[in-house]
């Protein structure tokens, strides 16, 4: 029999976070799991490099974070910049938003997964007269 492969610290940390999910994380997971949100596939507490992402939809390269009272905005900004360089977008929601306004949370997540409009970023142009 082969020896079991040792897990790295980030993977072990992710597993521990799954077991100790906060109320906000459990509430958000109920909205996202089993493709409940228009068929979008989300995973929770996913290790990615040195980070553990609360929720991630890989096809859309979208990260959803539940920010509790112990989040450090300066650290989160640096983390989000690093993940953006890797091609990910991060949406952050406070506990209050998740527990009290889940329809707004859902609306923002759905908006972030919509393909950009073909006219996005372009100014309105007049067509030349005949």
Domain with 60, as residue range(s), is: 23-112
Q: Is residue 16 part of a domain?
A: no
Q: What is the pTM assigned to this prediction? A: 0.78
Q: Which residue has the tokens 């929770």?
A: 44
1-58: pLDDT as tens digits: 444 444 678 888 778 777 778 899 999 999 999 998 889 999 999 999 888 899 999 9
Q: Is residue 80 part of a domain?
A: yes
Q: Tell me the C-alpha distance between 60 and 88, whole Å.
A: 8
76-123: pLDDT as tens digits: 999 999 999 999 999 999 999 999 977 899 999 999 998 776 665 554
pLDDT of 30: 93
Domain holding 52: CATH number? 3.40.960.10
* DSSP assignments along 21-51, one per residue: --HHHHHHHHHHGGGTTTT---EEEEEETTE
Q: Is residue 50 part of a domain?
A: yes
Residue partners of 60: CB distance under 8 A and separation at least 6? 40, 112, 113
Token pair belonging to 77: 């900004």
The number of distinct structural domains making up the chain is: 1
Q: Is residue 124 part of a domain?
A: no
pLDDT of 81: 96
């Amino acid at each position: 029999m082969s020896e079991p492969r040792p897990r790295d610290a980030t993977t072990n940390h992710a597993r521990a976070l799954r077991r100790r999910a906060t109320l906000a994380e459990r509430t958000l997971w109920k909205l996202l799991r089993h493709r409940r949100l228009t068929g979008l596939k989300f995973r929770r507490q996913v290790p990615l490099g040195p980070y553990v992402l609360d929720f991630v939809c890989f096809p859309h390269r979208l990260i959803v974070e539940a920010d509790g009272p112990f989040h450090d905005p300066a650290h989160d900004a640096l983390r989000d910049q690093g993940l953006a360089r890797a091609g990910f977008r991060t949406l952050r929601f406070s506990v209050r938003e998740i527990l009290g306004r889940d329809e707004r949370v859902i609306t923002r997540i759905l908006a972030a997964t919509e393909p950009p409009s073909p006219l996005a970023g372009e100014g309105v142009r007049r067509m030349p007269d005949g």
